[in-house]
Amino acid sequence: MLRKVILGGFLCAALLAAQTPGADELNRAYQALGEKDYDRAIVLFRKGLALQPQNAAAHKDLAYTLLKAGENAGARDEFAAAARLNPRDDTAALEYAFLAYETKEPVEARRTFDRLRRSANPATRATAEQAFQNIDQPLAAGIARWKDALARAANPNELPMYSAHWELAQLAELRDELPLAAEQYEICRRLKPQNGELLIILARVWAQIGRAEDAHAALLAASRSRDSRTAELALEQMGTRYPYPYEFANAIRIDPDNLALRRELAYLYLAMNEKREAIQQFESILELNPHDAAARSQLDALRGFQTRSVQSAPAPQAAVDAKTMGNKSLALGYSNDAIRYLRQAHEQDPSDADVMLKLGWAYNLAKDDADALVWFKAARQADDNTIAAQATKAYRNLTGETGPQTTIWALPMYSSRWNDLFAYGQAKQSFALPWDSLDKWFSFYISTRFIGDVKSSLPEHSVDAQYLSESSFIFGIGVNTRIWHHFMGWLEAGEAVKYLPDRHDIGTAIPDYRGGINYTKGFGQLLGSETPGFFYETVDEAIYVSRFQKDWLFYSRHRAGRSFNVGRENAQLLWNANYVRDSQNQYWANSIEFGPGFKLHMHWMPRNVYFAADFLRGAYTNNLYNPRRPNYNDIRLSFWYAVTK
């Protein structure tokens, strides 16, 4: 009888366990874990935890499994969940803190270690104390060092001291000295008011020290930044509620030169029928930019309204308000509101092509491309050439249709390795084909290339660098694919016409066939970015050239370093790593190079021009028939220019 009772008890417990949501998934997860099938265990743990989210032990076991699978960020989050559900689990909290530090969250790591060094467990206290000091002491030393540097500076608020204030602010934020961090970030903002990202950083710090109103004002100002990335980041943090007028006023107090803020507040006052306040904002806009024609026109109209009767032209005014609110909603990313207001504006003035264009953008933002195409197509017929061009470009981007384009690029370059000045360039005119299905995938063009150098013009050097300078104009017709995941292929056929009458190793005009595939990709803060930072870029190419004995040339060029903004100038310090080889195994086309360099774009240069200098140490990887030494040094100085119209 006793045996039956015990057996019945076990059966009841098993049935209860089987009925607990998620229990079966967790049991199978532990079974997979025992079999070292970590991927299956992770999937099953997550299924079980979706049904048992309060199971601290399962969160902890999933964290250890993720660690075995090399997913440190996921493990960090699971240890955080386990520690939150079981505040007495010092092991989970310590694991979370260590992983937070490893995954670039030093503030959370330091805070957690600081809390755990007061734990009741002596072993936890000792571990946490050591880890806390390892993080805290370098921060404290750095803060003291930068404070001392600023104290010794003749004028700490001069622009050259910007980097010192920036470093001090970052260290103070990492050490939770938030008032000091806020003070230093505010100085950085005064020194570089054009850096909109500082507003987002200030909002983050102000929110943590209880200055919620200032934090919201900073985000609002950043959301109307001229830098689209800054505006997008700020909008993500602000939420969907539209700001009140006093909030705009607070944002203007923080960013008084922000014309977009003042303009939007002015139109908001107009929509609220508060013309006096609107006039004040338009007057402020004109003080900052006396050439703002839109503000001048609106201000003149408002001053005129004050002398007219209230009954004058109510319908057009309603149309202006609907269009204004639609434009404002579109600028903020509120696509549904923009569509509603702009449809109303279109009903009031069906001939307004600007409204049609904005409706196309609004529908595109709402991911309704079918309706977007209808409005872009209508706006293409506008009398205003600017609106028609924008609508045509948007229509082609959605449909894949392309129009003719002119592309010009040039690269004059000096090389100390050859002690010669080279010039490479191309002018290319694309043209549309009547077959839309081809036009979506390919672009056809006519091209004129120039490849030449100085020394080849001298008879005694006419053959020396023929593989670097073909001394020709190359006229051809070609086709290239559309760019797909940073890849592009191309083919070109033409005639190479030499420009040197004394060069007899080639004919006056010879057939020229070339083509290839290339991959170009950049990461981080590239040259011209709003904010400084690290970057990496690569250009990888395989090129076929018929005149080089039908050779294939393979190039892999890599550059990594840091971008800097000094006032209005942009610069990069970088490291080069280049690899070249070919299918014919010719000595000049097989080499590897390393070395430092820099790029520079001065504010007075055209937008698409930069100067580069590279200092390279190279080695030929094939020295068969090599008349030169196996290693070489090369200083390369170059200008790059490119434009597409």
Summarize pLDDT for 124-181 with one digit per residue, the tens. Answer: 889 888 988 988 888 899 889 888 888 877 565 554 577 888 888 888 888 888 899 8
Q: Kind of pairing, strands 406-415 and 631-644? A: antiparallel
Rounded CA-CA distance 308/538 in Å is 64
Tokens of 107: 């503030």
Residue 414 lies in a domain: yes
pLDDT for residue 529: 67
pLDDT at 527: 80
What confidence tens digit (pLDDT) does each residue in 342-392 have?
887 877 777 788 888 888 888 887 777 777 877 887 787 777 878 877 887
DSSP state of 482: P
Rounded Cα distance, 540 and 581, in Å: 12
Count of other CB atoms within 10 angstroms of residue 22: 19
pLDDT of residue 310: 32
Residue 401 lies inside a defined structural domain of this protein: no
Whichever domain contains 588, its CATH number is 2.40.160
Cα distance between residue 97 and residue 112, in whole Å: 6
Choose among 410, 445, 448, 444: nearest CA to 427: 448
With a CB cutoff of 8 Å and minimum separation 6, the contacts of 638 are 411, 412, 413, 414, 611, 612, 613
Residue 139 phi/psi, 5° resolution? -65, -45
Supply the range of the domain harboring residue 610: 406-644
CA dist 266 → 83, 241, 260, 270, 296 (Å): 50, 19, 10, 6, 13
pLDDT of residue 556: 95
H-assigned helices in 289-368: 293-305, 314-332, 335-348, 353-365
Euclidean distance between CA atoms 439 and 480, whole angstroms: 11
Residue 413 in any domain: the answer is yes
Q: How do residues 421-473 score in pLDDT, each as one tens digit?
A: 999 999 998 876 666 556 667 788 999 999 888 876 655 544 444 456 678 89
Spatial distance between the Cα atoms of 12 and 25, rounded to a whole number of angstroms: 19
Sign of CA dihedral 73, 78, 80, 83: negative
Residue 551: C-alpha distances to residues 141, 467, 469, 626 (Å): 59, 11, 16, 18
Return the percent helix, strand and coil in the chain, to nearest 5.
50, 25, 25
In total, how many domains does the chain have? 1
- The Cβ of residue 207 has, within 10 Å, a number of other Cβ atoms equal to 17
Residue with structure tokens 């959301």? Answer: 223
- With beta carbons less than 8 A apart as the criterion, state whether 531 and 565 touch: yes
Q: What is the pLDDT of residue 309?
A: 34
| Residue 365 · residue 394 · CB < 8 Å | no
Contact 482, 443 (CB under 8 A): yes
CA dist., res. 357 & res. 394, Å (int): 9
In a domain, 391, yes or no: no
CB 536 within 8 A of CB 530: no
Q: 284: helix, coil or strand?
A: helix
Instruction: Give the span between the Cα atoms of 189 and 166, in whole angstroms.
Output: 10
- Is the CB of residue 530 less than 8 Å from the CB of residue 518? no
Q: Two tokens at 643? A: 């434009």
- Mark the ranges of the chain whose per-residue pLDDT is less than 70: 1-20, 154-160, 304-321, 332-333, 396-404, 432-440, 456-469, 503-507, 528-530, 607, 644-645
* Cβ density class 551-589: b for 16+ within 10 Å, e for less: bebbbbbbbbbebbbeeeebbbebebebbbbbeeebbbb
Query: Residue 5: what pLDDT?
Result: 35
Report if residue 618 sits inside a domain. Answer: yes
Distance between CA atoms of residues 326 and 343, nearest Å: 9
- List, in sequence order, the alpha helices (H) in 22-121: 23-34, 38-51, 56-68, 72-85, 90-102, 106-116
Our measurement of the distance from residue 92's CA atom to the centroid of its chain's CA atoms, rounded to an integer in Å, reads 36
Q: Two tokens at 495?
A: 């005639």
User: What end-to-end distance do the CA atoms of the chain give, in Å?
Assistant: 94
Classify residue 55: in a domain, yes or no: no
CA distance 178 to 171: 10
Sort 640 into a burial class: Cβ within 10 Å, 0-12 / 13-18 / 19+. middle
Tokens 């020394």 sit on residue:
455
| Mean of all residue pLDDT scores within the chain | 81
Residue 127 lies in a domain: no
| 205 in any annotated domain | no
Select from 340, 354, 328, 234 the least CA-distant residue to 272.
Answer: 328
As a whole number of angstroms, the distance between CA 541 and CA 554 comes to 6
Instruction: Tell me, yes or no, if the pTM score tops 0.85.
Output: no
CB atoms within 10 A of CB 295: 22
DSSP assignment letter at 622: -
Question: How far is it, in rounded angstroms, from Cα 405 to Cα 403?
Answer: 6
What confidence score (pLDDT) does residue 493 get? 94
Tell me the residue length of the chain: 645
The confidence score (pLDDT) of residue 458 equals 59
